[in-house]
């Protein structure tokens, strides 16, 4: 796919391409119902779950899916000052 580039005065020096990486946590063995969860979040590939009964669960084992490197989700052109000049995807 070709993208028409906007005409800029700044000199482009880099292009950054971003890809999505997905990981999956299997929580079936914990026998948790949705209405039991007070909150949950993921940080540094660790799933943190707090149940309404006060129990806290940390899960750091996960399945990592293959990344599709064929096309990035987005890509941007930057100048030497790190300013975004244009999005190309």
How many CA atoms within 13 Å lie on the side-chain side of 36? 11
- Give me the pLDDT at residue 89, please: 74
For 15-45, the pLDDT digits (tens) are 999 999 999 999 999 999 999 999 999 999 9
Q: Which of 22, 25, 23 is nearest to 58 (CA)?
A: 25
In the prediction, which pLDDT does 47 show? 97
Sheet holding 84-87, edge to edge: 12-18, 74-79, 84-87
Q: What is the pLDDT of residues 60-78, one digit of tens each?
A: 999 999 998 999 999 999 9
Confidence of residue 2 (pLDDT cuts 50, 70, 90): low
């Amino acid at each position: 796919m070709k993208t028409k580039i906007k005409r800029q005065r700044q000199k482009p020096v880099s292009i950054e391409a971003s890809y999505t990486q997905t990981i999956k946590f299997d929580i079936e063995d914990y026998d948790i119902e949705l209405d039991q969860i007070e909150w949950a979040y993921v940080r540094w590939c660790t799933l943190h779950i707090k149940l309404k009964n006060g129990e806290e669960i940390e899960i750091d084992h996960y399945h990592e899916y293959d990344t599709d490197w064929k096309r990035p989700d987005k890509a941007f052109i930057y100048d030497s000052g790190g300013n975004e000049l244009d999005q190309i995807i």
